[in-house]
Amino acid sequence: MHESVAFIWANLASRPAMLEFKRLNAGYGRAQTLFEFDLQLGAGEVLALLGRNGAGKSTALKAAIGLLPTFSGEIFFHKIKLNDLEPFQISRLGLGYVPEDRRIFTDLTVMENLAVGRQPPRAGAPHWTPEQLFELFPNLGRMRERRGSSMSGGEQQMLSIARSLMGNPSTLLLDEPFEGLAPLIVEGIAKTIRALKHKGLSVLLCEQNLRYARLVAERVCIIEKGRLCHTGTMAELDADPALRERYLSV
Amino acid sequence: MEYTSVLIQFLNGLASASSLFLVAAGLSLIFGVTRVVNFAHGSLYMLGMYMAVWLSERIGFWLAVPMAAAIVGLLGAVVEMVLLRKIYQAPELLQLLATFALLLVIKDAALWVWGAEDLLGPRAPGFAGTVQIADGALPQYDLLLIALGPLVLVVLHFMLAKTRWGILIRAATQDREMAGALGVNQRWLFTGVFALGALLAGLGGALQIPREPANLSIDLSVISDAFVVVVVGGLGSIPGAFLAALLIAQAKTFCIALGYSKATLVVEFMVMAAVLVIRPWGLLGRVPANLRGPAAVPLPFHPPSPRMLRIFAVLSGALVLLPLASDAYALVLLTDILIFALFATSLHFILGPAGLYSFGHAAYFGLGAYAAGIFSLQGKFPMELALALAPLAAGLAALVFGWFCVRLSGVYSAMLTLAFAQIAWSAAFQWDALTGGSNGIVGVWPAPWLASKTAYYYLTLLLCAGAIIFLWRAIFSPFGYALRAARDAPLRAEASGIAVRSMQWAAFTIAGLTAGIAGALYAFSKGSISPEAMGVQRSVDGLVMVMLGGLQTLSGPLWGAALFTWLQDAAARNIDYWRAATGAVILALVLLWPNGLGSFLQSKK
């Protein structure tokens, strides 16, 4: 049996924020997309998980938040095993998830979207109110009563991040948050991610594009065909064209 | 009609609309969040009625009504936790089957507790009189109901729009997986919504007792009304349900007032068909978003393996030799099984490979049966000719109805098939001159050379086996592959040159035609036809057979039909509460093998 959520909350503050994948095998239905996957996200760091389209990046995030069943291996968050927990339980441990396609509730207004994500304050993680989030995303503050369906892609992306912050997470999972956005918006979101890091959040960022990852991440893991094949600092990757050529060029 | 009597009829219709709206709103809420169409929702309404009658003898009407609603709401919560939680991941059709089984169980439970007699409820104290409007009179209680409908609408609207619970409901309606990933505990949300929906249904029933006695047939009539209201209003739209309840209730009331009380069903479903053709997603409905979450990808069909073919050869041999060792009773039962095997296979053909939900497949079975009877008795055709022409009549009806049905998708299409089946049923029920009305047609006997049970058994075996093999062959023809492509990826199929709608239309017609063969054979084997041959119950029997056998297996419908027909025959004779027994068996099967009995047999191999 897993520990009760209340017990876990009480003990969160004393543990360093950390997400850990151990020899994880996972996939969709019978199709395995992640093989013996190992990864560690340290407290307060921004780690980019780089890889081509279909490499297994999203699978890792979905498995962590509990949207995909795992085949074998383990996922730990604050040393708590996540495999058998449901998404809502995992989210209530302080793990925020921002999906690739944003998944805004388009029938709901900005304020209502934020209300869905709301969770009680959590020790060891910054506490957010809608007003504080509107400081972080001024655009959203100007469209509080607007429905998700009439927002631009960039605004939806901001709302998706803000919505998961309403749960006061200690760690954020971001799945390609820059995809399809205008350069100015990309810079704005990168700035936000750096601000979140500054507030002590850990961020696991999935990204295909090294240029975007470079904006926020100091450490890099590269995944190819579902297997982790390189871990190092951003500086190392920048200094090694052969490595970039091998795993990241299209 | 006079102006005053028009007004009184109008107010009367408004009062009827209130109860209808309560049921439909609950159904719509539950469907929106859980994506389960609750067949047992009419049963909850019925329970509300019985409970309120029973309680009002003890604690008085005004306490009994909220109490009955609360008890039904509580029961709803229990049902959700015990049954529905287990089947949210199951295929849509199986969920429908489970809630239908619940309907059967509740019906017999009510029969057991309250007996078969209608229970008259009390007048509402303080509202027992009438109000004089010009020279007409309207019950005071009707005025109360008229006010109640909009009141509930406003309360529900406020709850959904302004409370956090309402926001979570709307979020989960749109993307429940994402809501979960944001920390929303869907389990309690689902239980709460189901309990609220049940409470509304119970309240609707309880409020109805001064106007109508509690009776055991109200469940099916309420659920089909509620389906119509929800679909006409737009699934998931509470104001839409309100508008549609008004529309339907008014149409029915004026039908009765004008002296066409028999035509209410036809009018109701005509309204529905008209709305759906003009606005396919209902008055206030919107194009449904694709449900988020791991889609249930249907497993591919496999052509029968050599081993399976050997089993079928042995089975066919056994079926050929069987009359040598059977008595007349067993032969009649076997003939029934063969007929229903064909009926189930034809239904499976559109449910499985074509992916079209049909809740009214019995229409084509019944049309085949009626056509056979009418051709042979009124047309004085030889029996052989009547048997050959009858399926064509069913096929023709499928051609016409199918044109509408393939234009919609999913639950909407299912509701439209139900609507057409109800039209066909009420035509059979009401067109005395042609169909004999509720008495049906008697004296439909086969030609002399087929009169013996054995000869008729062989005829049935030949025709059913032939038709079943034809349907199976079609599944593995290019036509069958195109159908499955259209089912699994309609846009991609369309883009690769498959005319999706035409293919589905053809499949619908073929299925109707083959169901017509089964119906015609049934008519001549029984010698009589009654409207029950095409009732809702028969359509659902077919669904149960298919689901028992498993949608993903080719031969599933055969085992399902055999088991169901035998079970019904055995249970109906030996068990007082056979409906509850069937329901309990179905529930057990659904909970134990959510993919059908056929898959259970396969897993044993």
For A88-102, write each residue's pLDDT tens digit: 999 999 999 999 989
Please write the tens of the pLDDT for every residue from B561-587: 888 888 888 877 777 777 788 788 788
Q: Which residues of chain B does A118 touch, with a Cβ-Cβ cutoff of 8 Å?
A: 164
Residue A161 and residue A164: Cα distance in Å, rounded? 5
**pLDDT score of A16:** 57
pLDDT in tens, B506-537: 999 999 999 999 999 999 998 889 888 888 77
- In order of A228, B20, B22, B57, B63, the CA distances from B52 in angstroms are 65, 17, 16, 9, 9
Residue B289 lies in a domain: no
Give A23's DSSP letter. Answer: E
Q: At what angle do helices B41-59 and B186-208 cross, to 10 degrees?
A: 60
Helices (H) and strands (E) in chain B, counts: 25, 4
Average pLDDT over residues B261-278: 76
- Decide if B304 is inside a domain: no
In a domain, B573, yes or no: no
d(CA B164, CA B142) in angstroms, rounded, equals 34
Task: Give per-residue burial for B570-586: e unless 16+ CB within 10 Å, then b.
Answer: ebeeeeebbbbbbbebb
Domains of chain A: 5-247 (3.40.50.300)
Total structural domains within chain B: 2
Q: Are residues B45 and B181 in the same domain?
A: yes
- The residue from B216, B239, B272 where one domain ends is B216
- Average pLDDT for residues B196-208, to the nearest whole number? 96
* B354 vs B583: CA distance, rounded Å: 28
Residues above pLDDT 70, as percent of chain B = 94
pLDDT value of position B596: 54
Given this model, what pLDDT does residue B592 score?
A: 79
pLDDT at B299: 67
Mutation target for B interface from A33, A58, A103, A149: give the one with most B CBs within 10 A. A103
pLDDT, tens only, A27-66: 987 889 999 999 999 988 999 999 988 889 999 999 999 9
Mutating which of B164, B174, B178, B286 best tests the A interface, going by the most A Cβ atoms within 10 A? B178
The last residue of one of the domains, among B486, B513, B535, is: B535
Q: What angle do CA B247, B250, B253 make, to 5 degrees?
A: 150
Q: Which residues contact B425 (CB under 8 A, 6 or more apart)?
A: B265, B363, B366, B531, B534, B535, B536
Give yes or no for a contact between B590 and B101, defined as CB atoms under 8 angstroms apart: yes
Of the listed ranges A157-161, B195-199, B289-293, B331-335, the one predicted with least confidence: B289-293
Does B87 map to a domain?
yes
- The CA distance from B482 to B501, in Å, is 11
**Which DSSP string do the residues of B355-401 spell out, in sequence order?**
----S-THHHHHHHHHHHHIIIIIS---HHHHHHHHHHHHHHHHHHH
**Domain stop point among B194, B216, B238:** B216
Average pLDDT for B34-50: 91
Q: What is the pLDDT of residue B292?
A: 37
Say what the pLDDT of residue A115 is. 96
Same domain, B197 and B339: no
Determine the residue among A8, A105, A111, A171 to mutate to test chain B binding: the one whose Cβ has the most chain B Cβ atoms within 10 Å.
Answer: A105
* Assembly ipTM: 0.89
Co-location of B338 and B211 in the same domain: no
Residue with tokens 């249970």: B571
**Lowest-confidence region among B1-5, B339-343, B344-348:** B1-5
Please, which pLDDT band fits residue B604 given cuts at 50, 70 and 90? very low
Chain A CB within 8 Å of residue B298 CB: no
- Structural domain contains residue B191: yes
CA B196, B197, B202, B205 dihedral sign is positive
Structure tokens at A84: 């058998």
Q: How confident is the model at residue B425 (pLDDT cuts 50, 70, 90)?
A: confident
Out of A62-71, A229-238, B69-78, B279-288, which region has the weakest mean confidence (pLDDT)? B279-288
- Sign, CA dihedral B306-B310-B311-B316, equals positive
Res. B294: pLDDT tops 60: no
Give pLDDT tens digits for A59-81: 999 999 999 989 999 999 998 99
Residue type, A208: Q
Of B598, B588, B458, nearest in space to B104 by CA:
B588
Residue of A nearest to B286 (CA): A107
- State whether B470 and B345 are in the same domain: yes
The CA distance from A35 to A24, in Å, is: 6
Asked if the C-beta of B175 comes within 8 angstroms of chain A's C-beta atoms, the answer is yes
Inter-chain touch B185–A91, beta carbons under 8 Å: no
Give yes or no for residue A248 having a pLDDT over 90. no
- Cβ–Cβ gap A116/B167 under 8 Å: yes
Closest chain B C-alpha to A121 CA, distance in angstroms = 13
Match 């979450």 to its residue by tokens: B293
Same domain (yes/no): B470, B347: yes
- C-alpha distance from B589 to closest chain A C-alpha (Å): 24
Mean pLDDT over all residues of chain A?
89
Work out the burial of residue B440: count CB atoms within 10 Å of its CB; fewer than 13 is exposed, 13-18 middle, 19 or more buried: buried
Report residue A26's pLDDT band, with 50, 70 and 90 as the boundaries: very high
pLDDT reported for residue B508: 95
pLDDT over 80 (residue B410): no
pLDDT above 90 (res B438): no
State yes or no: pLDDT of A1 exceeds 50. Answer: no
Residue B177 touches chain A, beta carbons under 8 Å: yes
| Sequence letter at residue B368 | G
- Using pLDDT thresholds of 50, 70 and 90, give the confidence band for residue A172: very high
pLDDT computed for residue B342 by the predictor: 95
Cβ <8 Å between A99 and B175: no
B86 vs B50 pLDDT, higher one: B50
Lowest mean pLDDT among A125-129, B138-142, B197-201: B138-142
Q: How confident is the model at residue B262 (pLDDT cuts 50, 70, 90)?
A: low
Contact A106 B174 (CB under 8 A): yes
Residue B98 lies in a domain: yes
Q: Is the pLDDT of residue B296 over 60?
A: no
Mean residue pLDDT of chain B comes to: 85
> Across the A/B interface, how many CB contacts are shorter than 8 Å?
68
Residues of B in contact with A29 (CB under 8 A): 294, 297
On whether residue B542 sits in a domain, the answer given is no
Domain of residue B470: give its range: 329-535
Residue B471 scores a pLDDT above 50:
yes
Closest to A88 (Cβ–Cβ): which among B173, B180, B297?
B180
Consecutive H or E run containing B604: helix B597-604
Mutate to test the interface with B, among A116, A119, A170 (most CBs of B within 10 A): A116
Closest CA to A155 of A141, A140, A165, A144: A140
Is B185 at the interface with chain A, CB within 8 A? yes
Residues of chain A with Cβ-Cβ distance to B181 below 8 Å are 65-67, 87-88, 90-91, 97, 99
Top mean-pLDDT range of A185-189, B173-177, B552-556: A185-189
Is the backbone of residue B224 left (phi > 0), alpha (psi -120 to 50) or beta? Answer: alpha
